[in-house]
């Protein structure tokens, strides 16, 4: 879109968005994946191959991926999912290991995880049909607290756990403040509750192992305002539209088309 066209759209009150975001909002990919598709030459606008993701387009732009038009954009939807151990949070695994997306109902279409849980972690995972929303909610800038319960082997020291509130550096990687407290000691094992805002790769496991505690079980019990609660392992529960409005604001809901 040219500068003149963008100026005309602004005058007309048409909201423009980056093309990768528009593709993500169609529910066919994440924004990062859409950017890779653009780099691979798979995306066209009005029949012309798009060469850069830094392109602003109108909501009704004629975009195709592999010469197929984007599906009509659905209403933004979010689910709570109780991820079991032993499932990868990915759509495809080169080693053929089971993924959580293999277990989901096919009629839900292409869903995207908001953040990840590693193979041996379990608990709350948020899923959505909106790639742009997924990207927005997993950013550390949102400062949403992720809470975990960890069962560890050993007898945790209260002072070392409290010191995590100042952050910690492990092998050159800086981890931000972590709220950590001992829940209870059961013989050789203990349960610890932790709250963190960054959620770097394997952060909880790395930090606890650095302190000398082997993690036997790791459960995420909340992600921001969303709670695991009594949701059964392997089950999905859709978040109501009212809760999406209350917790996320209208930004991610008001522009969505009505579900067909």
Catalytic site positions: 118
Phi then psi dihedrals of residue 117, to 5 deg: -130, 135
SS3 199: coil
Long-range contacts of 63-70 (CB under 8 A, 24+ apart): 63/19, 63/22, 63/23, 65/23, 65/28, 65/37, 66/42, 70/22, 70/23, 70/26, 70/28
Residue 211, CB-side half-sphere exposure with 13 Å CA sphere: 24
Q: What is the DSSP string of 162-191?
A: HHGGG-EEETTEEE--EEEEEEEEETTEEE
CA distance 186 to 77: 41
Please tell me what DSSP assigns to residue 14. P
The candidate with the shortest Cα–Cα distance to 134, out of 72, 66, 64, 223, is: 223
Look at residues 140, 135, 115 and name the one whose alpha carbon lies nearest to residue 30.
Answer: 135
> Which residues partner with 65 through β-bridges?
43, 68
- Is the dihedral angle over the CA atoms 26, 59, 20, 198 positive or is it negative? negative
């Amino acid at each position: 879109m040219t500068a003149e066209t963008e100026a005309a759209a602004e005058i007309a009150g048409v909201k423009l968005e980056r093309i990768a975001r528009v593709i993500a909002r169609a529910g066919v990919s994440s924004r990062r994946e859409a950017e890779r598709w653009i780099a691979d030459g798979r995306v066209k606008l009005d029949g012309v191959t798009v060469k850069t993701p830094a392109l602003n387009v109108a909501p009704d732009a004629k975009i195709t991926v592999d010469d197929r038009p984007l599906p009509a954009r659905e209403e933004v939807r979010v689910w709570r999912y109780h991820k079991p151990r032993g499932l990868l949070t990915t759509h495809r695994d080169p080693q053929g290991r089971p993924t959580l997306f293999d277990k989901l109902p096919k009629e839900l279409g292409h869903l995207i995880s908001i953040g990840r849980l590693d193979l041996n972690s379990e608990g709350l995972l948020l899923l959505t049909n909106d790639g742009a929303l997924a990207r927005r909610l997993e950013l550390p800038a949102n400062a949403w607290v992720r809470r975990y319960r960890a069962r560890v082997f050993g007898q945790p020291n209260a002072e070392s756990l409290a010191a995590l509130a100042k952050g910690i550096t492990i092998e050159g990687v800086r981890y931000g403040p972590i709220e950590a407290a001992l829940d209870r000691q059961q013989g050789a094992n203990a349960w610890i509750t932790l709250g963190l805002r960054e959620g770097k790769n394997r952060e909880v496991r790395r930090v606890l192992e650095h302190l000398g505690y082997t993690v036997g079980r790791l459960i995420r019990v909340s992600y921001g305002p969303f709670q695991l609660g009594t949701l059964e392992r392997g089950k999905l529960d859709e978040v109501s539209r009212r809760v999406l409005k209350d917790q996320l604001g209208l930004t991610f809901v008001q522009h969505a088309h009505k579900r067909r």
